[in-house]
């Protein structure tokens, strides 16, 4: 796989670029400016290990298309990431084609710290029918970015998916290909007493099946073993708030554990 990374300015001009087969580092000397984006191009779809900044954890992601543009989260959008990310005068970006051993490992398939609202190329991708005030600190993408600090709310590291007090709120995670899921983990936001919590939620999968989850007042991981199933997406919905004066339940992190579907035994399917 040939991989190219480029820093593009608001007018589409390249400020720095590097390309290589299989693996590359791009070092950019200069301060990022409003409107800059990172453009990732690959010769064919596949699995990549990516780190667009030294302050963001590397992630194993599935590139379904041949190009992905990542608008740099500066200004208000920067509330969702570490204040040292994308800051300063020198930046190191890394991309590598994932190895077979990395691809086949059981892992959290819902992890993507590089997701954006407009993402339709680099999976997984999170979206929702409602987000609190449309603010970046409460966007759907925060539920899959790997950040689990949940004893406060607002900017990093306490970002979350906020539902704007809407009981009809739904969160969808699209994996971009077929995967096999066997466990779910939810981290509810736990800024008590500011926050409330959900006592129950449902998860519907792309195969038409649904799991009902019983939740508690906890900031720790709430784990749910589920019958292994091959799916392309899942939806969290029917969020039932506990009887609590606070109107603010929220989700800090959603994890979906499993493997690539090609590894799942046929007999494990519903």
Question: Does residue 268 register a pLDDT over 50?
Answer: no
pLDDT at residue 264 in the model? 59
Which tokens go with 244? 């609590």
Instruction: Please give the residue that has the higher pLDDT: either 264 or 222.
Output: 222
Of the candidates 224, 171, 170, 216, the one whose C-alpha atom is nearest the C-alpha of residue 192 is: 216
Q: Is there a single domain that holds both residue 17 and residue 91? A: yes
Q: Is there a single domain that holds both residue 251 and residue 197? A: yes
The string of DSSP letters for 207-233 reads TS-EEEEE--S-SS-EEEEEEEEEEEE
Q: Is there a single domain that holds both residue 144 and residue 165? A: yes
Q: Give the percent of the chain with pLDDT over 90.
A: 94
pLDDT at residue 270 in the model? 44
Distance in angstroms (rounded) separating the CA atoms of residues 8 and 14:
5
**pLDDT category of residue 150 using cuts at 50, 70 and 90:** very high
Q: Is there a single domain that holds both residue 68 and residue 167? A: no
Q: Is there a single domain that holds both residue 147 and residue 257? A: yes
Residue-wise pLDDT for 211-240, tens only, equals 999 999 999 999 999 999 999 999 999 999
Residue-wise pLDDT for 53-103, tens only, equals 999 999 999 999 999 999 999 988 899 999 999 999 999 999 999 999 999
**pLDDT category of residue 22 using cuts at 50, 70 and 90:** very high
Question: Does residue 105 register a pLDDT over 70?
Answer: yes
Q: Give the percent of the chain with pLDDT over 70.
A: 97
Q: Is there a single domain that holds both residue 120 and residue 175? A: yes
Q: Is there a single domain that holds both residue 157 and residue 255? A: yes
pTM value surpassing 0.75? yes
pLDDT, mean of residues 197-212? 98
Number of domains in the chain: 2
Q: Mean pLDDT score of the chain, rounded to an integer?
A: 96
Residue-wise pLDDT for 152-201, tens only, equals 999 999 999 999 999 999 999 999 999 999 999 999 999 999 999 999 99
Domain boundary among 59, 81, 104: 104
pLDDT at residue 99 in the model? 97
**pLDDT category of residue 144 using cuts at 50, 70 and 90:** very high
Q: Is there a single domain that holds both residue 26 and residue 143? A: no
Q: Is there a single domain that holds both residue 139 and residue 172? A: yes
Q: Is there a single domain that holds both residue 126 and residue 253? A: yes
Question: Does residue 260 register a pLDDT over 80?
Answer: yes
pLDDT at residue 95 in the model? 98
Domain boundary among 46, 70, 104: 104
Question: Does residue 132 register a pLDDT over 60?
Answer: yes
Q: Is there a single domain that holds both residue 90 and residue 181? A: no
pLDDT at residue 262 in the model? 80
pLDDT at residue 102 in the model? 97
b/e per residue 16-34 (b: at least 16 CB within 10 A)? bebeeeeebebebeeebee
Domain boundary among 53, 76, 104: 104
Q: Is there a single domain that holds both residue 244 and residue 111? A: yes
Domain hosting 228: range is 107-268
**CATH (domain of 173):** 2.60.120.260
Q: What is the largest CA-CA distance in the chain?
A: 57
The runs of H, that is alpha helices, within the chain are 100-104
């Amino acid at each position: 796989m040939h991989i190219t990374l480029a820093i593009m300015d608001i007018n589409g001009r390249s400020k720095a670029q590097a390309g290589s087969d299989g693996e590359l580092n791009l070092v950019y000397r200069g301060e990022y400016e409003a409107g800059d984006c990172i453009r990732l191009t690959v010769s064919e779809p596949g699995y990549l290990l990516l780190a667009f900044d030294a302050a963001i954890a590397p992630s194993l992601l599935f590139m379904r298309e041949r190009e992905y543009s990542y608008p740099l989260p500066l200004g208000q959008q920067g509330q969702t990431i570490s204040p040292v990310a994308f800051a300063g005068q020198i930046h190191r970006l890394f991309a590598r084609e994932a190895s077979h051993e990395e691809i086949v490992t059981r892992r959290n398939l819902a992890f993507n710290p590089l997701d954006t609202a407009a993402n339709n190329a680099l999976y997984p991708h999170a979206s929702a029918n409602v987000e609190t005030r449309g603010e970046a600190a409460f966007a759907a993408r925060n539920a899959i970015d790997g950040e689990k600090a949940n004893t406060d709310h607002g900017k990093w590291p306490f970002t979350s998916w906020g539902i704007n007090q809407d009981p009809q709120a739904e969160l969808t995670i699209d994996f971009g290909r077929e995967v096999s899921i066997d466990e779910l983990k939810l981290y509810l936001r736990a800024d008590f007493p500011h926050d409330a919590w959900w006592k129950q939620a449902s998860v519907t999968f792309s195969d038409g099946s649904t799991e009902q989850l019983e939740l508690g007042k906890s900031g720790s991981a709430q784990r749910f073993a589920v019958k292994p199933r091959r799916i392309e997406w899942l939806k969290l919905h029917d969020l039932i708030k506990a009887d609590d004066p606070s109107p603010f339940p929220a989700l800090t992190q959603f994890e979906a554990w499993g493997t690539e579907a090609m590894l799942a035994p046929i007999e494990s399917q519903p």
